[in-house]
Structure 1
Amino acid sequence: MISSIPAREYGLVFATAVAVTYLVTGVVRLFATRIGAFSPIRERDVHSVPTPRMGGVAVYLGVTAAVLMGYNLPALSEAFRNNTEILGVLVAGGVICFVGAVDDRFDLSAVTKLAGQVLAAGLLVLFGVQWVLLRLPTGSDGDVGNIYVLGRDQAVILTVLLAVLLTNAMNFIDGLDGLLAGVAFISAIAAFAFSLYVLYDSGNNGLAQPPLIAAALAGACLGFLPHNFFPARIFMGDSGSMFIGVTMAAAITSTAGKIDPLALGTRSSIALLAPLIVALAVVFIPLLDFFLAVVRRTRAGKSPMSADKKHLHHRMLQIGHTHRQAVLIFYLWALVFAGGAVSLGFFNWQVVIGPWLGGAVAALVVSAHPWLRASRLNRLRTRSQTPAD
């Protein structure tokens, strides 16, 4: 039974990830430069100067150092007893980070990268990271709803699909300096808050690993951000985007896929969906970009994995936002969706809906401001050029 939250230990894990990633990134940048792991200038890119990749290696090392720190702390060391999920994250993360690092240097084929993603997802499953429970609201408020226990084959398929989906979604959003690192940081903080709430409220020590994974990932992303924010000195590369996708999938699956609804109870039927809502909301932006790209390319008769310059971040630049403005607006949207979803675990949806709608409207207005301003100027220009009667 969890009697208290070891806030200082989680803070130390977070700080370790920040410090190690920040310091190691400089070394990784020099190594990537020496071996020629540069991001080429392509038509769809927004940068104009060749920039080294492989930043994900530093993120992985930061997460690993933070996990090892947690292993040596009195309270957090309990998370490692009779549970191999964190080890699975490090092993699977190491595999996908290696595949991504090779791609950052040699540009692997899409099929090869997909094989690496499936392998990493399979390793997560082997180490116990599986989505085993689903619950849906039925009946009146307070009812625990229908609880579905997935069979082994179903759990494996769902976990692998989720990991591969999030890995590619994170890869899709990595198109502006600091975009992926910042959105992943916000998403990891949201996952940490929700998993910590679940751990404390359920008292289930088996759920002690997800907050540790999320805290380490959040710290690593924050430590990498000073090197990656516009103008970036190093890019995440596939080594970073794919590692973040796999790690995020592990944190979400370990929490949302194993919650005992009878232990948590509910305040309303909507609250029963909180785990699924959080799982979707923390990665809403990359998932939306991913699905829009697949639909757009499929309708054009192209491969879903082909490249173009019509991602959400490209559209933000096209309507008039600067590079930094576009990135900060994506941060705002990530806060709105992830924050609103996590709030469902703490408050009734009636309390959450008002502030969430306010935040969504504010984000929408900020996002559309250049377009609205241009439309207004065009109307004024047209009106001034119209001859008076």
Structure 2
Amino acid sequence: MKNFELFLNNSGISIFYVKIGLGFLFSFLITFFSIPTITKISRRKNLMDEPGVRSSHLRKIPNLGGIAIFYSIGICTSVFAYELFDLYKFLFASLVVLLYVGVMDDIVVMRAYKKLVAQIIVSVFIVIGSDIRIRNLFGICGIYQINYLVSVLITIITFIILINAFNLIDGIDGLAGGYSLVCSALFGISYYRLGPYNYPLVILSVIIIGAVLAFLYYNLSNYRAAKIFMGDTGSMLLGFLLAFTCICFIDIFIDRQLPYIPRYHLKSSPVIAVAILILPIVDTLNVIIVRLWNKKSPFLADKNHIHHKLLKLDLTHRRSSFYIISYYLFIVAVAYFLRHTDVNLLLITILLLGFIGAYLPDLLYLLRNKTLKSNN
């Protein structure tokens, strides 16, 4: 690969843009051609997702699409963004552990505590082993630099929350895949604007986009035999990678005065990261609040997620996913245009808008029923 880079540099061709193009192309093609084989095996061996309490589908669907996503990201990142595996030694090992746990859960349904233990192990790998940490809160609640042990604990909890939060929004066709695509695009553009030192992360973002686009082709298919879900394998992998890119994004703006890292200043960077990942964060918080309010276990499955509320309005999966993603893109736009305001005020604004989006379907449902009753 290095000889190939040398050849391109001597030819006056930017190796970065070649990696971007090839990374996207191969990521898309690997996932695209892997999924039909996975679907065929899943149907033959009856490795299917059975409709349950939280399910929004009425028939059995293959749910091992996450294997193709891992396969694609693992290969393409190793080839086109190998610097990441050099810099973050435990990154690939973490992905492999999540693959194993996800596949086991998709096939035999693991106990929640076993999944949690695996997520803790993976988080410890990446936080302590690769030193990926939330080191500074930039004045949120008056907190700036964080003590090492506190930083490690907060980051491990953040990884676990985001992995599970992303798993929770994977309830209708196109939502988890579409949202991860949008988040990867936003982080990728941000990394690109922040300079060449971050180019490997740009390539990783593009590889994720390629893999998810190919998956969405099948996930949104109207052809029953082609349809597939990403399962816990895909949702945990994407949740982990988005948490990883999120924390790396915040880390760029910390002034560590290292000679090989350019300095950038954006005090609202943690809030921008929260805005990009606002959907899984708000959806999870909302569901926990509702369950505790009703004196139920926060781990009990129900249909109080935002996508379930939109389905109650008789919207299709595609329209529900489109409306949810569009609204939370609006929140990202608000965060971007207000990025230079007070960080605490901006965080409150973003969270408030996030919860408005979570309860807006409830309001629309009540208004619709009230209108129907008055007409009758």
- Which amino acid is 1:163 matched to? F
State the alpha-carbon separation in 1 of the partners of residues 34 and 148 from structure 2: 40
Match of 1:387 in 2: none
Aligned length: 343
**What TM-score do the two structures reach when normalised by structure 2?**
0.80
State the alpha-carbon separation in 2 of the partners of residues 114 and 158 from structure 1: 16
Report SS of the residue matched to 1:321.
coil
The Cα shift of 1:238 comes to 0.6
Residue 149 of structure 2 corresponds to residue 153 of structure 1? yes
The Cα shift of 1:369 comes to 7.0
Identity score, percent: 23
**What TM-score do the two structures reach when normalised by structure 1?**
0.78
The one of 82, 94, 97 equivalent to 2:96 is 94
Match of 1:219 in 2: 210
The one of 282, 286, 294 equivalent to 1:292 is 286
CA deviations 1:138-163 (Å, max 9, x no partner) are: 9xxxxxx9851x34322321221111
The Cα shift of 1:299 comes to 2.5
The Cα shift of 1:84 comes to 2.8
State the alpha-carbon separation in 1 of the partners of residues 338 and 298 from structure 2: 34
The Cα shift of 1:259 comes to 2.5
State the alpha-carbon separation in 2 of the partners of residues 215 and 39 from structure 1: 29
CA deviations 1:32-77 (Å, max 9, x no partner) are: 2333321112133121110111111111111112212314xxxxx6
State the alpha-carbon separation in 1 of the partners of residues 371 and 287 from structure 2: 30
Match of 1:169 in 2: 165
State the alpha-carbon separation in 1 of the partners of residues 264 and 84 from structure 2: 27
State the alpha-carbon separation in 2 of the partners of residues 302 and 146 from structure 1: 34
State the alpha-carbon separation in 2 of the partners of residues 132 and 321 from structure 1: 39
The Cα shift of 1:264 comes to 4.2
RMSD: 3.2
- 8 Å CA contact 1:53–1:237 kept in 2: the answer is yes
The Cα shift of 1:185 comes to 0.6
State the alpha-carbon separation in 2 of the partners of residues 168 and 129 from structure 1: 22
Match of 1:142 in 2: none
Pick which of 242-251 and 26-35 moved more. Answer: 26-35
CA deviations 1:175-232 (Å, max 9, x no partner) are: 001111011110111111122223x1xx6x3x44432332222221112101111547
- Which amino acid is 1:99 matched to? V
Aligned CA distance change for structure 1 residues 126 and 209 (closer, same or farther; 3 Å):
farther
Aligned CA distance change for structure 1 residues 339 and 65 (closer, same or farther; 3 Å):
farther
- Which amino acid is 2:92 matched to? L
- Which ranges of structure 2 fall in alignment gaps of 5 or more residues? 1-13
Match of 1:53 in 2: 63
State the alpha-carbon separation in 1 of the partners of residues 334 and 90 from structure 2: 30
- 8 Å CA contact 1:187–1:338 kept in 2: the answer is no
Report SS of the residue matched to 1:272.
coil
Report SS of the residue matched to 1:243.
helix
Report SS of the residue matched to 2:90.
helix
Report SS of the residue matched to 2:59.
coil
State the alpha-carbon separation in 2 of the partners of residues 320 and 108 from structure 1: 33
Matches within 5 A, 1:15-164: 15-71=25-81, 79-80=83-84, 83-85=86-88, 87-136=89-138, 147-148=144-145, 150-164=146-160
Matches within 5 A, 1:378-389: 379=374, 381=375
Report SS of the residue matched to 1:136.
strand
State the alpha-carbon separation in 1 of the partners of residues 78 and 335 from structure 2: 30
